[in-house]
Amino acid sequence: MSQASPIDELRKEHQLFLTDISEVHTMIQGLGSSPEDAREAFGGMLGARIDIFRQGILTHFRREEECLYPDARLFVSQVAGTAGRPDILGHFLDSEAEDDVRAHQVIAARTDEIAALVAAAREKGQLPAQSLAHLRTLLGLTRSLLQRHAEKEDGMIFPFIERSLSPDQLAAIGERLRAFRGIADLTGSDDLSGLGAAEG
């Protein structure tokens, strides 16, 4: 049995975000475009749920970009320097982190588009059929992008970091991730799932 890792927190967040956006996408699929539908959905719990998803995913990305990757890169480089060998692992991690940040930017842009459509629906009290169709497309696209991104991190990048660092180094990264969280602990609560239950 593998031991628990501080990075497991990020894995759990992936699953929470994927579950949440899938449930929101399903709800939007059944939503009508009448003013009453828009006011009830986006002015209430569904709109709040989308807001929380956006805040959570953007904070998650920042924790990876500003804590996980820089700290892991520093530790990997220290090991190479102490051993007097080329920093091959550090360069590999640099490349993967750059790809990860680009994926973050794409997902964040789609999430911002979703938030803008929801804000417009709140302000106008309606969501035209064309905008509703666009929102459905954006939610489906964002879900697919996030799924692929999570699979790469969970399946390759996170295990690489865990294999490359000592338990003490991983623990230090875990402390930094927790200190940086800045919002409610999504991995230890039912915040997102609770919104879904309230919506139903």
Is the residue at 170 inside a domain? yes
pLDDT given for residue 85 in this prediction: 59
Domain of residue 84, CATH code? 1.20.120.520
| Two structure tokens written together for 72 | 């892991």
Is the residue at 14 inside a domain? yes
- Whole-angstrom distance, CA of residue 95 vs CA of residue 190: 35
Give the domain extent around 71.
8-180
Per-run averaged pLDDT (10 residues), the chain, 200 residues: 78 95 87 66 78 92 93 82 63 87 96 90 80 91 96 94 90 89 46 42
- Whole-angstrom distance, CA of residue 8 vs CA of residue 51: 24
- Whole-angstrom distance, CA of residue 30 vs CA of residue 8: 34
Is the residue at 78 inside a domain? yes
Is the residue at 196 inside a domain? no
pLDDT given for residue 70 in this prediction: 92
From residue 143, alpha-carbon distances to 52, 115, 128 in Å are 15, 15, 23
| 75, burial (CB in 10 Å: exposed 0-12, middle 13-18, buried 19+) | buried
Is the residue at 93 inside a domain? yes
Is the residue at 117 inside a domain? yes
Phi, psi (degrees; rounded to nearest 5) at 183: -135, 180
In one letter, which amino acid is 78?
Answer: Q
Is the residue at 195 inside a domain? no
Radius of gyration of the chain (CA): 19
Is the residue at 191 inside a domain? no
Give the closest residue to 13 by CA, choosing from 73, 62, 83, 71. 62
- Whole-angstrom distance, CA of residue 112 vs CA of residue 132: 15
Q: Could you tell me which residues come within 8 angstroms of residue 109 by beta carbon, excluding any fewer than 6 positions away?
A: none
Q: Could you tell me which residues come within 8 angstroms of residue 85 by beta carbon, excluding any fewer than 6 positions away?
A: none
What number of other Cβ atoms are within 10 A of residue 168's Cβ?
A: 9
End-to-end CA distance of the chain: 38
User: How many structural domains does the chain have?
Assistant: 1
pTM score: 0.81
